[in-house]
Amino acid sequence: MSEVNKVVLAYSGGLDTSVILKWLQDTYACEVVTFTADIGQGEELEPARQKAEKFGIKQIYIDDLREEFVRDFVFPMFRANAIYEGEYLLGTSIARPLIAKRQIEIARETGADTVSHGATGKGNDQVRFELGYYALEPGIKVIAPWREWDLTSRERLLAYAEKHGIPVEMKHKNGGSPYSMDANLLHISYEGKVLEDPAREPEEDMWRWTVSPEAAPDAAEYLDVEYGKGDIVALNGQPMSPAQVLTELNRIGGKHGIGRLDLVENRYVGMKSRGCYETPGGTIMMRAHRAIESITLDREVAHLKDDLMARYASLIYTGYWWSPERRALQGLIDDTQQCVNGWVRLKLYKGNVMVVGRDSKTDSLFDPTISTFEDDGGAYQQSDAAGFIRLNALRMRIAARAGRK
């Protein structure tokens, strides 16, 4: 790599990025700017500042990005009903483009020529970060320490930290958490250690946000969710900001054991990976959004969205949030949401989210005078269906007469 003058490091204050901070100073003899994003991980961020100051960092950014994260990244993704490989609600994936965006902004503000991250060379995050960097600042230089250094194990990281006086909090009796975890307002993920055997059930004490369904309340809880143009604007009649909505849904969902997932997924780099996720608020959001769309979206528009959803979800998973194709899809998706207004009533009970009501006073396409099983007063001519069916069967009738099976 060419000479590095100043680098903006995505910095959590944990073991990996604390080692990276010192390693950058030693290896590149460069000035380091630290950037810590508060996207709802629920951790005290001030220790990150203190650690950075200890190593002589003069420019320290600790930014509260929770509202921007939900408003500009989570909500647009949920308008698309995006799910990767049928199960994963993309909690880690959707946070990376925001972090990359803010890193590039800080690089511009501080005159930095380089950015750095703590993602390993085995995972998806390196791709997500770096595609974002290059899309937003084509000439930026990138340092990915895990692809360069020889600190290839936890033991080597700890030895390096001890040698250089880097404080390390031991959160587990065997030396740190037994899992690699990532948290934000949308989810918390767990990988590594015992989870590397996909045949083993996760230990109950692993889960942080949700009670087990067995331990959830014996009484169901009803929740009213109000929508405006495809986004949640109020819960139980109480207007809320995007971050407030997701925070409250996490609380309610966690109480009822909602949102646990044990998944083997296909990483972009080619390997399969087993991870466990807690996404209580997102699980509720997905069910509610599909329910309000069921009465407000035209049939073919809804089916078109479903056709595009897998492609859209894959773009987010593989790091193409800032790509022209994702932006184009977002424009179409957002256009479909102009009439997605109304409310949904949910029943939450022991890990389940059940839709029990939905309505839109202004945009519902549900017409009870037509769909009724009672006398419709001539609103629908049932005899019309005969010709409709015969015309749709025409090509199959022709093929059958030609002897095709």
Tens of pLDDT, residues 82-106: 999 999 999 999 999 999 999 999 9
> Looking at 113, 125, 182, 231, which residue is catalytic?
125
The pLDDT of residue 43:
85
**Known catalytic residue: 96?**
yes
Inform me whether the pLDDT recorded for 176 exceeds 90.
no
Hey, which residues does 234 pair with through a beta bridge? 226, 239
User: Catalytic one among 38, 72, 180, 314?
Assistant: 180
Instruction: List residues bridging with 266 in a β-sheet.
Output: 272
Rg (CA), the chain: 25
Q: Are strands 342-349 and 272-278 parallel, antiparallel or unpaired?
A: unpaired
367 is catalytic: no
Q: Is 182 a catalytic residue?
A: no
How high is the pLDDT of residue 352? Answer: 98
Residue 405 has a pLDDT of 78
Angle 229-231-237 from CA coordinates, rounded to 5°:
100
pLDDT category at 174 given cuts 50, 70, 90 is very low
What phi and psi values does residue 379 have, to the nearest 5 degrees? -65, -30
Q: How do the domains of the chain map onto residue ranges?
A: 6-72+91-178, 181-359, 368-401
* Average pLDDT value for residue range 262-283: 97
- Calpha distance 58→392 (Å, rounded): 71
Residue at token pair 């990359």: 100
State pLDDT tens for residues 233-248. Answer: 999 999 999 999 999 9
Distances (CA, A) of 2 to 113, 130, 142, 228: 11, 17, 11, 50
Residue with tokens 């997924």: 265
Architecture of domain 6-72+91-178: 3-Layer(aba) Sandwich (3.40)
Q: What is the pTM of this model?
A: 0.95
Kindly report the backbone phi and psi dihedral angles of residue 266, in degrees, each rounded to the nearest multiple of 5, phi listed first: -100, 110
Could you tell me which CATH number the domain at 181-359 has?
A: 3.90.1260.10
Residue among 66, 96, 274, 358 flagged as catalytic: 96
pLDDT at 173: 41
Residue 175 has pLDDT above 60, yes or no: no
Q: What is the mean pLDDT of residues 29-50?
A: 94
CA distance 335 to 33: 40
Looking at 16, 113, 182, 231, which residue is catalytic? Answer: 16
- What's the pLDDT tens digit per position in 307-319? 999 999 999 999 9
Average model confidence (pLDDT) across the chain:
95
Active-site residue flag, 63: no
What confidence score (pLDDT) does residue 25 get? Answer: 95
Q: What local confidence, expressed as pLDDT, does residue 154 receive?
A: 78
Residue 180 has what pLDDT? 86
Q: What is the 3-state secondary structure (H, E, C) of the chain?
A: CCCCCEEEEECCCCHHHHHHHHHHHHHHCCEEEEEEEECCCCCCCHHHHHHHHHCCCCCEEEEECHHHHHHHHHHHHHHCCCCECCCECCCCHHHHHHHHHHHHHHHHHHCCCEEECCCCCCCCHHHHHHHHHHHHCCCCEEECHHHCCCCCCHHHHHHHHHHCCCCCCCCCCCCCCCCEEEECCCCEEEECHHHHCCCCCCCHHHCCCCCCHHHCCCCCEEEEEEEECCEEEEECCEECCHHHHHHHHHHHHHHCCCCEEEEEEECCCCCEEEEEEECHHHHHHHHHHHHHHHHHCCHHHHHHHHHHHHHHHHHHHCCCCCCHHHHHHHHHHHHHHHHCCEEEEEEEECCEEEEEEEECCCCCCCCHHHHCCCCCCCCCCCCHHHHHHHHHHHHHHHHHHCCCC
Is the pLDDT assigned to residue 294 strictly greater than 80? yes
Distance CA 268, CA 339 (A): 35
Per-residue pLDDT of 137-162, as tens digits, reads: 999 999 999 999 999 887 899 999 99
Residue whose entry in the numeric block shows the structure tokens 């986004």: 231
pLDDT at 328 over 50: yes
169 confidence band (pLDDT: 50, 70, 90): low
